[in-house]
Each structure stands twice: as structure tokens, then as C-alpha cells.
Amino acid sequence: MKFATIGHLLNKENLKEFPKPWIQNNLVISPEMNINGTTGYITGLLLTAEEMMTLPREKVRQNILDAACFLQEKYDVELIQLGALTTSVTEGGKWVVEQKQYHGFTNHGDSYTAAITCQAVLRAVNLFHKKPAEQNLAIVGAYGVIGEAASKILVPQFARTMLIGRRAEKLSELEHHLKGEYETTIDLKTQKADIIVTATSHPTGLLASEHVKKNAMVVDVSQPPNMSYDLCRKRPDICRIDGGYVDFPKEHHLPIPGMPPGKLFACIVEVIMQAMENERKNHVGSIDLNHLKKTEQWGEKYGFTLNELTNFGKPLTQHIRS
């Protein structure tokens, strides 16, 4: 089953990083990739993260649908993955599945991303010789697709969790699914957290210095990142970790700006694994934790796993030495 990911530009500068022939039909389209016999494309809308979230939603959705139909018709794609904020503007992908023009399968790729996020959180805590049961956690974007699954998995393991979102009613709904010690808030109350997970659709940096306590860890899943490179430089005590990065064999280095060799976004890895498995299903909306576990098993089977933790692609040596 041929796959394609549909992402978007992080910012206008991004466009310069792609060869001109890759741009066609309002899309950046990579050459066909072949991963052990499974073929597909990495593609992206020519909209920036900011435009994805501020242009009229119908227009952005139409762009996504046009891309899916084009990839289906011209490239024989049968499985698309909704990258970055394309999930956020399509109700977790449910809107795409309802459209008649596109007949293929859709996956948001968030199941493996949530799994890898939880693995990264637990790996980071362990790396600093701490115990989750003695640590305070904060999850920003707690009722989002990734945030909800991460909350279900992580809240019971931590001493106390602050669950943060923008809508009180969605936070109340989330409470029905959780066990453990937690509070919910619509304010960005991350100051007491030893470890912060960000998984929001906020299209720029969200955390400021005053939001993060000394020596805290931040697992930043959001794309674009919610903890900026500038804040990392200003606050070297904070250990920022790229959330949702998976180790991917170097020979398959995929052409994504800023992605270090040997790494790939978990959402893209999920769709590659689904294509390898020829699993002809949609995975949209709220995450089924059984499917999440299955993606972890696929990861082990195909050797795409979380190995080294990084910050903007660089190993965490500075923090691990101190």
C-alpha cells in the first residue's frame, strides 16, 4: 500500500530548503521513497503553521482534501498521514474520512507519537535518576489527540499532574478517563512541574522563561516547537527534549528540513509501518490505546525505536554530564 504524509511549512523560510522541482500543485512532494519495498512520499502544503491556524478553516481543509485527492489520483496513494497541524484543523482527521472524493485510508500518526512521547518522558526521568512517583508532571494540550492518550498513560505514574488546555469543558470530559492525582486548569500553570509535556496546536513558542522552573525537563512534542531555541539558549538549566522523534536507519534519511540524519517524526514512522503491514484501516480522532500498543510492537518489529534523546537534534550531553 503506497503512503503519503501531508504536512505543511513551519514558516516561510522553510520553502527555500526544498528543490524547486519538488513543488507542484500547491504541494511540496518528495521523490518516491522506498523503505524496504514500501513506497511513498513526504509532502507538504505551502501554508505555514501560523496560516494553518489563522486562515478560514474551510479553506485550509479544502487544501488538505485537494492534496489527498491529487496524491490518490496522480501517485496511486492509498494511505495518507495527517502531519503536524493538519490533524488539528480536521477534528483529528475525522473530517477527512467523511469526504467522498478521497477513497483511501487516513491516519493521524498520533498513536505512535503518543507512545514515543510517553517513552521519552519515562526515559528522561530515569536518565536523571528520578522516580515518576516522586515527580510533578504538567501536560499542555491535555485533551488534544496526543495529550489525551499521554494523560491516560502518564497521570497514574506521576505524583501529581497539572493538565492544561484552553477549554474548561474539554478538561472536564478528560477527567472521566483518568486515574491518579491531577488538577486541571485553563492557565499555563507549569511552574511547579519537574517535567512538562507540550502537545499543542499553538503555532509558535508558548513557554516563556517564567513558566519553567529551574532544572525542569520539557518534552516538546509540538511542531512547531512550544519551547523555542532562544529559550533553550537563555535557560541552559532546562533540559528540552525533542518529543516524537524516532530513531530511523540513516540509509533512509528523509528530506525534512531540520530533521537530523537517523531521526524521523513518530507520526511519519507510524504510517510507514501501517503501509508495511498493509493494514487497511483509518486511525483518526481519539486514540485507541490498544492500537497505540500495536504501533509500539510494529516499532520493535521493524527496528524503528526511541534510542537517544535529543534537543533540536543534538544529544543531551550537556545535561547528562551535569
Ligand X SMILES: NC(=O)c1ccc[n+]([C@@H]2O[C@H](COP(=O)([O-])OP(=O)(O)OC[C@H]3O[C@@H](n4cnc5c(N)ncnc54)[C@H](OP(=O)(O)O)[C@@H]3O)[C@@H](O)[C@H]2O)c1
Interaction site with ligand X (CB under 6 A): 84-85, 87-88, 92, 108-110, 113, 140-141, 143-147, 164-167, 199-202, 206, 221-223, 243-244, 265-267
Distances, alpha carbon 64 to alpha carbons 28, 44, 221, 266, in Å: 13, 9, 22, 20
The residues facing 45 across adjacent strands are 8, 27
Residue 272 main-chain phi, psi, to 5 deg: -65, -45
The residue number whose beta carbon is nearest to ligand X equals: 144
Q: How far is the CB of 183 from ligand X (least distance, A)?
A: 15
Q: How far is the CB of 310 from ligand X (least distance, A)?
A: 12
- Of the two residues 122 and 130, which places its CB atom closer to ligand X in the complex? 122
Task: Give the max Cα distance, the chain.
Answer: 56
Q: Which of 197, 196, 227, 195 lies closest to 128 in space, CA to CA?
A: 195
Give the Cα separation of 271 and 277 in Å (integer).
10
- Of the two residues 78 and 110, which places its CB atom closer to ligand X in the complex? 110
- Measured from the Cβ of residue 57, the count of other Cβ atoms closer than 10 Å reads 13
- H helix and E strand count, the chain: 11, 17
Q: How far is the CB of 85 from ligand X (least distance, A)?
A: 5
Torsion-angle region of 68 (φ positive above 0: left; ψ -120 to 50: alpha; else: beta): alpha
- Do residues 124 and 239 touch, judged by C-beta distance below 8 A? yes
- Of the two residues 40 and 165, which places its CB atom closer to ligand X in the complex? 165
The residues facing 163 across adjacent strands are 139, 184
First-to-last alpha carbon distance for the chain, in angstroms, is 47
- Of the two residues 113 and 228, which places its CB atom closer to ligand X in the complex? 113
- Of the two residues 167 and 250, which places its CB atom closer to ligand X in the complex? 167
Q: How far is the CB of 74 from ligand X (least distance, A)?
A: 25
Three-class DSSP category at 280: coil
- Of the two residues 7 and 104, which places its CB atom closer to ligand X in the complex? 7
- Of the two residues 130 and 204, which places its CB atom closer to ligand X in the complex? 204
Q: How far is the CB of 57 from ligand X (least distance, A)?
A: 12
Q: How far is the CB of 232 from ligand X (least distance, A)?
A: 17
Give the Cα separation of 225 and 108 in Å (integer).
18
Q: How far is the CB of 83 from ligand X (least distance, A)?
A: 7
Three-class DSSP category at 52: helix
- Of the two residues 209 and 215, which places its CB atom closer to ligand X in the complex? 209
Q: How far is the CB of 72 from ligand X (least distance, A)?
A: 22
